[in-house]
Amino acid sequence: MRVSIIFLLLSFVVAFSPLTAEDSFRSWTLPKAVEILTKSAWVRQETFTRVVGGVGSGIQGEKEIYNTYFVRLISAEPVRQAYARVKLINVGYDQLPDEEKQRVNREIEEIVDLDVSEWIVVAVSFRSNNHNQEAGFDRFLERQSLETMKNRAYLSTEKFPRIQLDAYYPPREASVGAKFVFPRNLEGVPVVTPDDETIVFEFDTPGNEPVMRATFPVQEMIISGKLIL
């Protein structure tokens, strides 16, 4: 089973300090970076549980299956910075030779400086305590395309319900997941403004589970008077 350092650290319980425009992600501690990736305004987790019969825990041999969807707004710079900081720590950046540091810096710049001026990008990854469920969902994401996802995934705000998907990218890294790309503007009008209360990502997942809805609080995404999305 693929396990990333990000998900192994989900058990960390740390106090989240609000970001400021002056924060440098290169100075973030690992717990702070993980907190942004797991408990910040740009991240939501949706867990569905069900009981199945057979060998396992429970009085009658039943077993509880936990399926958790991790939904992140990776168009938001703090999320990309957090991914970059985890990578820096994971590779032991401070101890690398100069030539290797330059290579890592180029990779980090590609993550942090991604041009998302026209797009809102939602990343979806999945974890389950059932290996078959997890592997099956990974295969599902890998086999999808823009055409097959158009009727499965939507973004909604108060002014623009069910915004159509513009692009879909299957997962390249387990920790990031599949990427769903939506327009930031429709007919010249921003789909999300600081006056909005929420932005909702809706995903019709495979199988018998309910439609997954991740609701993000817009007001908590405002840093130093600017909406970070």
| Burial class (CB within 10 angstroms; exposed 0-12, middle 13-18, buried 19+) of 118 | exposed
User: pLDDT, tens digit, for every residue of 157-216?
Assistant: 989 999 999 999 999 887 899 999 999 999 999 999 999 999 999 999 987 788 999 999
| Burial class (CB within 10 angstroms; exposed 0-12, middle 13-18, buried 19+) of 190 | middle
- pTM of the shown model: 0.85
User: pLDDT, tens digit, for every residue of 59-99?
Assistant: 445 578 899 999 999 999 999 999 999 999 999 988 999 99
